[in-house]
Amino acid sequence: MKPFRLALFTDSAPQFLERALLSLAQAQGFAIELKVWGFTSPLAVQDELATFQPEAVCYWLCSEQARTHQLPSIEPLLALPYHWLICNLPILDEGAFGNYALLAPSSLRARLAQWNHDLLERAQTQHNLHLIDLERLVSDLGHRQCFDARLWHMAAVALTPTATELLAERILATLRVMRGEVRKVLVTDLDDTFWSGIVSDVGAQGIHPEDSSRCAYRAWLKTLAQRGILLAIASRNEIATVQEAFARDDLDFSLEDFAAVQVAWDVPKSEMLKRIAEQLGVHTSSLVFIDDRIENRNEVRAQCPDVLVPELPEDSTCWMDVLSSLTGFETLAITEDDALRAQSIKSNQQRLALAETLSQEDYLASLEQQLTPEPLSAQNVERAAQLSQRCNRFNMCNTRHTAEELLNRKGWVYRLKDRYGDMGLISVVILEQNEIVSWVMSCRAFGRGIEQRILSHLKSMIPELCGRYQPTERNTLCANLYQENGVPLP
Amino acid sequence: MISQQLALCFCDVLRQPMPAGFECATIAELPGWDSVAHLSLMMEIEKRFQIRFRATELFAITTIPALIAVIEERQHA
């Protein structure tokens, strides 16, 4: 894969962050081409920046500069045709106003807070602006761990090496999402993870779902589920015992909350994860695995190295410290379709059950599918971009788009409903005259005749339709799609 | 003892094997050294020896013997 071209601008010494980014990217096997401008505004080197053609521009201002300088406005930057990763500013206080500082517009504290507020407001509506939450990092790590006045005054270094490494991690996590590396499924163990106790030893009534640290863990799972992450179970148990445990009134989950359930005695966890990935139609690199037992975590790491397996402390009360800092669930946007997507993947099991009992033709007819095309527009670019960032298997040219970029493209998006529910936006086609230059489709919709219907729709409007295909390791399933449907290559 | 611990710290931060004649070396001549690594080194030394350098010392200490002397002085302070 070609290196990610990142431009980095700072108003402090950039060398620590530059080094941290390069070394972390190398450790993660993520190729990056980095060009750095220290103490420079992007507005001052627009020609050089244009020559570099960055895929993203990271702009890191430091709070210390605000003591003596006015904070620059980001507005002129957003007019430039780049994807901006802009760090918010950790809040400092010069101590001149006491508790009144936030109310005094000229105080350092109020100015930094106002700048952050403006940035946040812009990020909510500006598609080419992505926030890097440095303020949260500082709040997690503690002010004294992040700042060292000696480094600032002697060398204009704005963050300690420790904090800089964590900032690099956050920036890289965002770059990876821009490249389509998205974690979609969280797989959890049950015993001593989801609840306290081993259900096969103590029985369904003997486990402790009310254990405070497990309650916090499950609340975290609920939040992930609400934002569209699928949940799955991988547990060494008997299904009847697990069902009995989930029937307890004081357990705030039911088995139906899980898109896939793997419960068995004699199957290694790695194998369970592979089965879950297959069942949900995702690659194992989309999975995050949580298990209290180190031998299970290590077995999964050895057998499925692309699964993200956070190292949990033995003491479960400290788990959320680790899990809340996980960068695996980074996203560029949250759309209404996220919840629909999760729901439709879950209902896929009902579809699969139906498919087993009917012929392919009868199955498709019985689904009562309604495919609705819509022109690509401001109303749907956010979800369209997200789909292009998430799709690897049905991505004809391995293209990733951002919402901002899609606003200037011509194309169609397709929504799908069937008797089991609304799947939301499932496909995006980008056209240049009569040529399909990019086509992504959710793997949930693949193999249901949808791709043929999309091509028919396009052919009905474009007489000499042709389509571009660029093979990758992941998109082999659509290698012959154009040929099989009478669409020539350009 | 300080010298050995210090050498280990340099090896870890600079990611280099221990050079011959470390005890009397000039810091800037050690393999893998540069100004960015220098600050990382000083921060790491503070952590491992539980001492704190003065701001001016961060760049003013240029040799290993001088560094060892400051560490000894701070530890006995």
Contacting residues of A for B56, CB less than 8 Å apart: 154
Distance, in Å, from the CA atom of A234 to the CA atom of A290, rounded to the nearest integer, reads 9
Q: Taking 90 as the threshold, does the pLDDT of residue A327 lie above it?
A: no
Mean pLDDT of A332-341: 74
Pick from A36, A145, A150, A160 the residue to mutate for testing the B interface (most B CBs within 10 Å).
A150
Phi and psi at A296, nearest 5°, equal -70, -45
Kind of pairing between the strands at A421-432 and A410-418 = antiparallel
Q: Taking 90 as the threshold, does the pLDDT of residue A46 lie above it?
A: yes
Nearest to A7 by CA among A46, A59, A47: A59
What's residue A477's pLDDT?
81
The answer to whether B55 contacts A149, with C-beta atoms less than 8 Å apart, is yes
Q: Taking 80 as the threshold, does the pLDDT of residue A355 lie above it?
A: no
Q: Which two tokens stand for residue A473?
A: 């390791």
A244, burial (CB in 10 Å: exposed 0-12, middle 13-18, buried 19+): middle
Q: What is the pLDDT of residues A276-311, one digit of tens each?
A: 998 888 899 999 999 999 999 999 999 999 999 999
What's residue A9's pLDDT?
97
Contacting residues of B for A157, CB less than 8 Å apart: 39
Task: Label residue A393 by pLDDT band (50, 70, 90).
Answer: confident
**Sign of the dihedral defined by the CA atoms of residues A445, A446, A447, A452, in that order:** positive
Task: Label residue A107 by pLDDT band (50, 70, 90).
Answer: very high
Distance, in Å, from the CA atom of B16 to the CA atom of B19, rounded to the nearest integer, reads 8
Q: Which two tokens stand for residue A433?
A: 């005259």
The answer to whether B39 contacts A149, with C-beta atoms less than 8 Å apart, is no
Mean pLDDT of A185-203: 96
| Nearest neighbour of A160 by CB, restricted to B36, B43, B53 | B43
Distance, in Å, from the CA atom of A231 to the CA atom of A217, rounded to the nearest integer, reads 13
| Nearest neighbour of A154 by CB, restricted to B40, B43, B58 | B58
What's residue A1's pLDDT?
73
What's residue A147's pLDDT?
95
What's residue A418's pLDDT?
87
Compute the C-alpha angle A277/A399/A128, nearest 5°: 105
Q: Which two tokens stand for residue A228?
A: 């569209």
Q: Please, what are the averages of pLDDT over each run of 10 residues along chain B (77 residues)?
A: 92 88 91 89 94 93 95 89
What's residue A358's pLDDT?
83
Q: Taking 90 as the threshold, does the pLDDT of residue A404 lie above it?
A: no
Kind of pairing between the strands at A260-263 and A230-235 = parallel
Q: Which two tokens stand for residue A62?
A: 């430091």
What's residue A391's pLDDT?
84
The answer to whether B59 contacts A154, with C-beta atoms less than 8 Å apart, is yes
| Nearest neighbour of A15 by CB, restricted to B36, B55, B58 | B36
Distance, in Å, from the CA atom of A215 to the CA atom of A410, rounded to the nearest integer, reads 47
The answer to whether A16 contacts B59, with C-beta atoms less than 8 Å apart, is no
Contacting residues of A for B53, CB less than 8 Å apart: 150
Chain B residue with the nearest C-alpha to that of A18: B36
C-beta separation of A468 from A435 below 8 A: yes
Mean pLDDT of A65-93: 94
Say which residues have a Cβ less than 8 Å from residue A201's Cβ, sequence separation at least 6: none
Chain A residue with the nearest C-alpha to that of B13: A161
Distance, in Å, from the CA atom of A89 to the CA atom of A63, rounded to the nearest integer, reads 6
C-beta separation of A423 from A341 below 8 A: yes
Comparing A1-15, A22-36, A331-345, B50-64, which segment has the lowest mean pLDDT? A331-345
The answer to whether A157 contacts B39, with C-beta atoms less than 8 Å apart, is yes
Write the single-letter amino acid at A379.
Answer: Q
Chain A residue with the nearest C-alpha to that of B37: A16
**Residue A461 CB: number of other CB atoms within 10 A?**
11
Max CA separation in chain B (angstroms): 32
Chain B residue with the nearest C-alpha to that of A150: B55
Dihedral in degrees, nearest 10, Cα atoms A212, A185, A321, A159: -160
Write the single-letter amino acid at A282.
Answer: V
Distance, in Å, from the CA atom of A153 to the CA atom of A116, rounded to the nearest integer, reads 24
Contacting residues of A for B40, CB less than 8 Å apart: 16, 161
Nearest to A385 by CA among A113, A178, A226, A165: A178
- Nearest-10 crossing angle of helices B35-49, A161-178: 120
What's residue A299's pLDDT?
97
C-beta separation of A271 from A236 below 8 A: no
Q: How far is CA A197 from CA A5, A41, B47, in A?
A: 49, 56, 39
Sheet holding A4-10, edge to edge: A32-38, A4-10, A56-60, A84-87, A129-132
B7, burial (CB in 10 Å: exposed 0-12, middle 13-18, buried 19+): middle
What's residue A22's pLDDT?
96
What's residue A354's pLDDT?
78
C-beta separation of A389 from A429 below 8 A: no
Chain B residue with the nearest C-alpha to that of A154: B55
- Nearest CA of chain A to the CA of B12: how many Å? 14
The answer to whether A16 contacts B36, with C-beta atoms less than 8 Å apart, is yes
Dihedral in degrees, nearest 10, Cα atoms A234, A237, A241, A246: -20
- Nearest CA of chain A to the CA of B43: how many Å? 8
Whole-prediction pTM: 0.80
- The fraction of chain A above a pLDDT of 70, given in percent, is 99
Mean pLDDT of A220-245: 94
- Nearest CA of chain A to the CA of B58: how many Å? 8
What's residue A254's pLDDT?
93
Q: Taking 90 as the threshold, does the pLDDT of residue A116 lie above it?
A: yes
The answer to whether A161 contacts B40, with C-beta atoms less than 8 Å apart, is yes
Write the single-letter amino acid at A254.
Answer: S
What's residue A463's pLDDT?
86
Distance, in Å, from the CA atom of A284 to the CA atom of A183, rounded to the nearest integer, reads 9
- Nearest CA of chain B to the CA of A19: how many Å? 9
Contacting residues of B for A155, CB less than 8 Å apart: 35, 39, 58-59
The answer to whether A155 contacts B58, with C-beta atoms less than 8 Å apart, is yes
Max CA separation in chain A (angstroms): 77
| Chain B positions touching chain A (beta carbons under 8 Å) | 35-36, 39-40, 43, 53-56, 58-59
Q: Which two tokens stand for residue A456?
A: 């028919």
The answer to whether B35 contacts A160, with C-beta atoms less than 8 Å apart, is no
Distance, in Å, from the CA atom of B71 to the CA atom of B77, rounded to the nearest integer, reads 10
Comparing A106-110, A135-139, A480-484, which segment has the lowest mean pLDDT? A480-484
Mean pLDDT of A97-102: 94
Mean pLDDT of A99-120: 96
Instruction: For B1-77, list the strands marked E by DSSP.
Output: none
Q: Taking 90 as the threshold, does the pLDDT of residue A472 lie above it?
A: no
Pick from B39, B40, B45 the residue to mutate for testing the A interface (most A CBs within 10 Å).
B39
| A472 vs A88 pLDDT, higher one | A88
| A346 vs A125 pLDDT, higher one | A125
